[in-house]
Every structure is written in structure tokens, then in C-alpha cells.
Amino acid sequence: MVRLPAIRLNRNKLKKAALIGSAVLAVLALLTALACWFFGIRSRQDIIGYSEMLRGRFHPIWKDLALRRIKKGDDLDELVARHEPLRREEWPPFVMLRYNEVGSFDGLAVAAKDGKLIFASVGSCCWEHTFFDTPQERETLDEAYRAWLQQSLLESAAYRIHLAVETGNDVFLAEDVERSWVTADPNDTEELLKRATATLGAEAVQKYIMAYGAEAVRPSPKLQLTVEVTEVISGDLTPGTTLTFPGEQCLEVNLDEPQTVFLHLPDSRMLFPFTQGGDIYLTVSRKALDWYHSLSAEQIEALKTRYLARRALYMKQLGQVE
């Protein structure tokens, strides 16, 4: 029987290896801690954020932010020269630079005050990561943004009033506003069947009816609005007139006020270029109407210029040209 040589362990070498291993682990832990500190990784959300940024979902500016090549206190103009934003919003003394497409769930923004950077963050629907912040400025920034947004909405509503007045369309106050559902016209059912047959074929339509019944191919009841005109601002209506129109003609209708301010436009594309056109009735606040009435002719022209400039910029950001 052959005997294997005995393996003798050198305790000194084992201790040395253990010390080296512990030192390596300690260095790795220290490097990991330093990396987390440097990149601002403090939570699972931050880890998710960097994972998403590394996948290329965000504007390349994030790399300069993460590596601190862009930091709090840097000059705003220098940043814009290096990374032109996709959108720029100003509510003095603050400026907000947006580096995400319009309508995207992802967001990357850098804020400045008096020409110096104070805040930068990136995020999506389920996470957010802050590159740098100035907590003492955040409340003032939020208040300024809310005031800017409210003024923008007020100006948008006033422009809609002006557009209706300028084109000779109806602007009126109404009360006794009622919503009701109207049973679909039989002709609508026939039209629906024709379209379904042309698209799916007669056999498929018959099978569908046999499976789900004739009610399944009847259009749903339609919503309609009935209003009584109480005051006319523009157009040829008279107080006391009752108007009833299909609900689909009423975009953005808000019935929260005692007397609703309605305006009518014959073509929805006058305000919403991507729609198919056709009559629309919109509502605006009484505050917007009163503010519009307070404007001089010069102020109305300035309002029109601002609105059209914002819309042109918005269309450009969407890659559309009117």
C-alpha cells in the first residue's frame, strides 16, 4: 500500500495569507464606500438610477454630473455652451434646463439661480437621483415654479379667449349646465357594422355577434351637454339661449365654477394641431376672462407673441413644423 506524503500546513504562511485577504477586502470595502460617496449612491434607488443611465437612456450630460465635472456653483452660461438643453424654462431669478424629450417619463434637469447652478437631478416614474442640491433654495424654487406655471396657464386661457374673439366666434357665460347620456342612433350601428365588415370581413363579424350578442356591436351611449347662455362676450348668441352639443365637442370642459365661461372654435386645429379638426367648446376660468379684459391692446399683442413662441418651441421639440 502506497502512502501519500503528509501535507504540513505552515501556520505563518496561513496567517500571512489571511492578513493579505483581510487587507484586500478592507481596501475593496473602502474603495466601494469612496465610490458610493463620490457618486452619491445612498440607496437602492440610486443603484437603479445609475444602472438605467449606463444603459444609455439619458442625455450624456449625466456623465459630467456624475463625475463632478459639473457641480454646484458652476456658471450657467458655460454649462449651456457645453450641453445645450432640449428645453429652457425661466422664472426669474431661476432658470430650469431640461434634458429630456417632451412627454417622456424620464427626466433630467439642472436649475440655476442668478446664473449659478444650484440643483441637478435625474429620474423616472419609480426612482430619482440627485447629483447636487441647495436645500435652502428649494422652497423658493418650488414657489417660483408654481407662480410661473399658474401665470402660464392664465396666459394660455386668455389667448384662447382672444383667439375666439378675434375670429368672431362665441365666448359666453353659461349656467344650468347638465350632462346626459343619449342612446346611440340606429344609423350609428349600421355605420359601425359597415366599418367592422370592411376591416374584419363579414364572417368574422357574424361570429362575433353570435358569441357576444347584437348589443356588442351597438355604439355606446353618447355624452351630451346642455347649457343656458347667461352673458355674451363675443358672437351672436343671446342670453337665455339653450345649447345642446355632443360631449366629444367639449375638450377640457371644467364645470366647477358657478357660471362656466365657454368659448367656441370651429376647428380644433386652431389650438391643437394634431387633432382631426371640427367644432370644439372649451372652458376657461372667470379669473382668466377678467384678466383678459384688463389687458390693453399692446398687452394682448405681447400675450399673443409669447403664446405663439411657446407653441412653436413645443412643436420644434416634438419634431413637428406647423
What is the pLDDT at residue 9? 52
Which domain does 240 fall in, by range? 150-183+222-317
My answer on whether 189 and 300 are in the same domain is no
- pLDDT tens-digit series, residues 95-122: 999 998 877 788 899 999 999 999 999 9
Rounded CA gap, 287 and 289, in Å?
A: 5
Whether the bond into 219 is cis, omega within 30 of 0: no
Tell me if 2 is assigned to some domain: no
Q: Could you report the per-residue pLDDT of 5-43, keeping only the tens digit for each?
A: 555 556 666 666 656 565 555 555 554 454 454 455 666
In the predicted model, what is the mean pLDDT of residues 206-234?
80
Cell of 235: 358672437
Predicted TM-score (pTM) above 0.75? no
| Number of structural domains in the chain | 3
198 and 116 inside one domain: no
**Cβ-contact 94, 144 below 8 angstroms:** yes
Residue 241 falls inside a structural domain: yes
Looking at the chain, the whole-number percentage of residues with pLDDT higher than 70 is 79
**Are residues 231 and 84 both part of a single domain?**
no
One-character DSSP codes across 233-254: EESS--TT-EEEEEGGGBTT--
Residue 177 lies inside a defined structural domain of this protein: yes
Question: Higher-confidence residue: 21 or 126?
Answer: 126
Model pLDDT, residue 37: 45
* Predicted local confidence at residue 35, as pLDDT: 44
Q: Residue 129: inside a domain, yes or no?
A: yes
In a domain, 27, yes or no: no
Q: pLDDT tens-digit profile of 265-285? A: 999 888 887 778 888 888 888
Q: State yes or no: pLDDT of 166 exceeds 60.
A: yes
Does the pLDDT of residue 188 top 70, yes or no? no
Greater model confidence, 69 or 56: 69
Q: Does one domain contain both 313 and 176? A: yes
Q: Which three cell numbers stand for residue 152?
A: 402660464
Q: pLDDT for 199-213, tens place per residue? A: 778 888 787 777 777
Residue 204 half-sphere exposure toward CB, CA atoms < 13 A: 9
The predicted structure's pLDDT at residue 315? 74
228 and 305 belong to one structural domain: yes
Quick one: 289 and 247 in the same domain? yes
In terms of domains, do 216 and 227 share one? no
- Let me know whether 81 and 175 are in one domain: no
| Average pLDDT of the chain, as a whole number | 81
pLDDT tops 70 at residue 187:
no
Give the whole-angstrom CA distance, residue 119 versus residue 96: 9
Return the bridge partners of 280, or none: 265
Are residues 279 and 179 located together in one domain of the fold? yes
Last-in-domain residue among 166, 192, 220: 220
H/E element, 230: strand 222-234
Q: How confident is the model at residue 50 (pLDDT cuts 50, 70, 90)?
A: confident
Residue 185 scores a pLDDT above 70: no
CA 222 vs CA 180, 184, 218, 225: distances in Å: 8, 7, 12, 10
pLDDT (0 to 100) of residue 203? 82
Do 197 and 96 share a domain, yes or no? no
Residues 291, 194 within the same domain: no
Q: Is the pLDDT of residue 259 over 90?
A: no
Residues 310 and 155: beta-carbon distance below 8 Å = no
